[in-house]
Amino acid sequence: MNLLNIVILAAGKGTRMYSEKPKVLHALAGKPLLQHVLDCAVALRPQQICVVYGHGGEAVPQAMQQYPAKFVIQEPQLGTGHAVQQAMPLLADDGQTMVLYGDVPLIQHSTLHQMQQAGDGLVLLTVNLDNPAGYGRIVRNHQGDVLAIVEEKDASPEQRGIREVNTGILLAPTGKLREWLAKLQNNNAQGEYYLTDIVAMAVQQGIAVHTVQPAHEWEIHGINSKAQLAALERTRQQVEASRLLAHGVTLADPARIDVRGRLNCGRDVEIDVGCIFEGDVALGNNVHVGAYSIIRNASIADGTHIAPYSLIDSSEVGANCHIGPYARLRPGTRLHADVHIGNFVEVKNSEIAQGSKANHLSYIGDSTVGSCVNIGAGTITCNYDGANKHRTVIGDDVFIGSATQLVAPVTVGNGATIGAGSTITKDAPQGGLTLSRSKQVTVAGWKRPAKQVKGEK
């Protein structure tokens, strides 16, 4: 049994964000900072997760209600030690408690796992920085044993020269942590209850203090401003781009791709500049994604080409399709293999079978389209009568002439042909030519109206 508790500190005001929204709800790579931390926490399979929140009323617990976490409010905020104290009544004494920060989103599971392996006692996550300004310093004796953490504002000039700093993330035996927190005092430069003071208490009691360092410095970067958020977003995207490149994906420019979720790629995938991937996206082998396309919660099968400026949302695209440029696939679109969806074509909640084409300027909504159908330019399925949505069913081998309106509910039989410019309100039988347009006439003697000259009547 894993007797691990995780306390996530998220009560800080985030003054420098200049926002009404609590700091930890600002998004990085498409999800709130706190959600990154919670996802990492959940992966450690703890028995209890406790989020300490403060600003923004119930916004934080509400936004995170899908997580198996408890939320405790810290009001007022009297320091990191005081914050952890608020969580203690919810935690059982056996096992260990890990403290994470809600505004340090990129902490990695492997680093936290390493802390769990570091041994009994107190485990601190530390890092050596060229510029340690602002951080608590790790004070060690000549043997290299940790003695204490000294906050910058309380540090002597020599202590300020120390480059090993406290990241804030730590792991402590829960019973001891409770005992130490109860003894904290706020007679320091900031008048706060410092969580970091527990280190000297552990040392005094002869309890081992271990340190672990993260594999990457970005794991411990905290967010206090929009500038830091933007910088960490770029770091996160660079890491993702490197992962894709290492996996064999061709990126036209690794600095111009944004992945806000999980992107899974097969072999020989090529992605041009400016593409955004959101949620869960799977690209098969030999998929090409054209510039400035946005793909969200979708799967694209082998060999499909997506031309620039296409938008694909909650859709399934089959193999060897051609999509775009400027195509829009809305939720519930299911394209079989070899389908062509061209420029300014919108498809919604529709299934289109193999080899069918809608190459220009069309709307296909709530439709079932057979195989080898040609949908002419400007075809519209009129799926909405002002109150309800209705389905359009088109059989196999159908030819729909350009600028046709199919007023749903309506069915076009297999092999039917619809004449261009028709408004089809009744089912069209299979095999035949159906059209609904008045006969073309040329009006004899007709003249264009002339422009009136002013003053004349």
Q: Note the residues at the interface with ligand UD1 (CB under 6 A).
A: 9-12, 52, 74, 77-80, 82-83, 101-103, 135-136, 149, 151, 165-168, 194-196, 222
Closest contact distance (angstroms) between CB of 80 and ligand UD1 is 3
**Nearest of 298, 326, 332 to residue 312 by alpha carbon:** 298
Query: Helices 33-43 and 109-116: crossing angle, nearest 10°?
Result: 50
Cβ proximity to ligand UD1: between 23 and 336 the closer is 23
Closest contact distance (angstroms) between CB of 385 and ligand UD1 is 53
Number of other residues whose CB lies within 10 A of the CB of residue 167: 25
Which residue among the candidates 288, 322, 360, 390 is catalytic per the annotation?
A: 360
Cβ proximity to ligand UD1: between 155 and 312 the closer is 155
- What's the Cα-to-Cα distance from 40 to each of 78, 95, 225, 314, 411, rounded to whole Å? 26, 19, 23, 26, 51
Q: Tell me if 391 sits within 8 A of 366, measured CB to CB.
A: yes
Q: Give 369's contacts (C-beta < 8 A, 6+ positions apart).
A: 350, 351, 352, 353, 356, 375, 394, 398
Closest contact distance (angstroms) between CB of 166 and ligand UD1 is 4
Cβ proximity to ligand UD1: between 60 and 400 the closer is 60
Cβ proximity to ligand UD1: between 148 and 380 the closer is 148
Is 26 known to be catalytic?
Answer: no
Q: Tell me if 341 sits within 8 A of 358, measured CB to CB.
A: yes
* DSSP tally for the chain: helices H, then strands E: 8, 38
Cβ proximity to ligand UD1: between 220 and 341 the closer is 220
168 phi-psi bin (left φ>0, alpha ψ -120 to 50, beta other): left
Closest contact distance (angstroms) between CB of 188 and ligand UD1 is 8
Closest contact distance (angstroms) between CB of 13 and ligand UD1 is 8
DSSP 384: B
Beta-bridge partners for 423: 405
Instruction: State the amino acid at position 190 in one-letter form.
Output: Q
> Which residues form the catalytic set?
360
